[in-house]
Amino acid sequence: MATWTGSDGGVDWRLELDRDLLLPGRLVEGRVVARASRGVEARGVVVALIGKERWKHRVTRTDSEGHTTTHVVTSEEEVRRVPVAVSGPVTLAAGETLDRTFELPVPPMGPASLLAEVARLEWRVEAKFDIEGGLDSSIEADVVVAQPSALIRAGAVHVGQFALFEGAEAASDDIAASISLEPAPLVCGAPFHGSLAIRAPGSRRLQEIRAELRLAVEATVQAGEREEITGWTGRLSDATELAGDPTFEVAGALPTTPLPTIELPHARTQATFHVILAQAWARDPHLVRDVAIATTAEL
């Protein structure tokens, strides 16, 4: 149970949801309680699930003297609004309370929440008195709409060619490797494990072998901004002599921040797993495979 409280426009609000991680295509049950500290007359009480996308891009302007400047701006667009009427006309005297339960549908295809810097999809639940000719009194609560593993496996989201395979091949220079990771897709806030099998001709001295999970986030508009987020990093080996066909274990956990593989109207993400063979005074070979990231493994 998730609960939020607040006061606005002479009303003390309490909003409850049975969960704050919302599953696409499911109903979320809730309750709204409003206590008036002064008289309130409203056309009704509406609870809405609202999704807003934000993305960053560069804008170039030329002044009257012909000088050009470029700066980064943030644009936004409401992508979904799912309203539910929980009460008709309401009249409350000071001290009176309205108490209603409701069911709020989550859109079957989301889109899922994304909390990156250059692109975001944020969801909130809003409960309000719809007051004619006056300012609405309301309460808002941030929620997360999930990107379930099942939705990614069903092909609803474009992923790399081998992102949903447990094992995938990778190569750099004359070094090849098999990288296995479970689960597929990986899940925000959940552990993962796997193995790295390297095939290296000859012998070379390495300072370390480390792995990184990277998420590329791109605003898919003209002059859109791009960032790369390192969601996890781990050391697979200290300094070692790499020769033959060594195998290394991989284990870790992703952060809980919702950073799924996703395609939005104005942005997209793509995840990759990097194995970095750190060398002294030489370029570090990167063994890279595609992966996919879900927000939850719940169905």
One domain, residues 132 and 91: yes
- For 178, other C-beta atoms within 10 Å of its C-beta total 18
Q: What percent of the chain has pLDDT over 70?
A: 100
91-100, 132-141, 253-262: the lowest-pLDDT one: 132-141
Residue finishing a domain among 100, 120, 146: 146
One domain, residues 87 and 102: yes
| Residue 172 vs residues 138, 180, 229, 276, 292: alpha-carbon distances, Å | 56, 17, 22, 10, 21
Backbone phi, psi, residue 109, to 5°: -110, 20
Confirm if 264 and 212 have CB atoms less than 8 A apart.
no
Confirm if 296 and 146 have CB atoms less than 8 A apart.
yes
One domain, residues 162 and 136: no
One domain, residues 259 and 275: yes
Amino acid 64: pLDDT? 78
Confirm if 228 and 286 have CB atoms less than 8 A apart.
no
Amino acid 3: pLDDT? 97
Q: Which domain holds residue 252?
A: 151-294
CA 202 – CA 57 distance, rounded (Å): 47
| Residue type at 143 in one-letter notation | V
| Domain membership flag for residue 299 | no
Is 65 a residue whose pLDDT tops 80? Answer: no
pLDDT tens, residue by residue, 150-172: 999 999 899 988 999 999 999 99
CA 201 – CA 55 distance, rounded (Å): 46
pLDDT tens, residue by residue, 191-228: 999 999 999 888 889 999 999 999 999 999 999 999 99
Closest CA to 199 of 162, 242, 241, 238: 242
For the chain, report the end-to-end CA distance as a whole number of angstroms.
Answer: 19
| Domain membership flag for residue 200 | yes
One domain, residues 9 and 134: yes
Q: Helix (H, G, I), strand (E, B), or coil: what is residue 153? A: helix
Number of domains making up the chain: 2
One domain, residues 158 and 280: yes
| Domain membership flag for residue 179 | yes
One domain, residues 165 and 236: yes
Confirm if 217 and 228 have CB atoms less than 8 A apart.
yes
Closest CA to 125 of 139, 109, 108, 137: 139
One domain, residues 87 and 197: no
What CATH number is given to the structural domain containing 270?
Answer: 2.60.40.640
CA 262 – CA 191 distance, rounded (Å): 20
Amino acid 78: pLDDT? 98
Residue finishing a domain among 146, 173, 193: 146
What is the per-residue burial (b if ≥16 Cβ within 10 Å, else e) of 217-229? bbbebeebbeeeb
Confirm if 224 and 56 have CB atoms less than 8 A apart.
yes
Closest CA to 196 of 215, 222, 170: 170
pLDDT tens, residue by residue, 15-48: 999 999 999 999 999 999 999 999 999 999 999 9
H helices of the chain, in order, are 149-153
Q: Pick the more confident residue, 257 or 60.
A: 257
CA 54 – CA 174 distance, rounded (Å): 42
Residue finishing a domain among 118, 146, 174: 146
| Domain membership flag for residue 248 | yes
179-183, 184-188, 241-245: the lowest-pLDDT one: 241-245
One domain, residues 104 and 178: no
One domain, residues 96 and 168: no
One domain, residues 117 and 178: no
One domain, residues 110 and 183: no
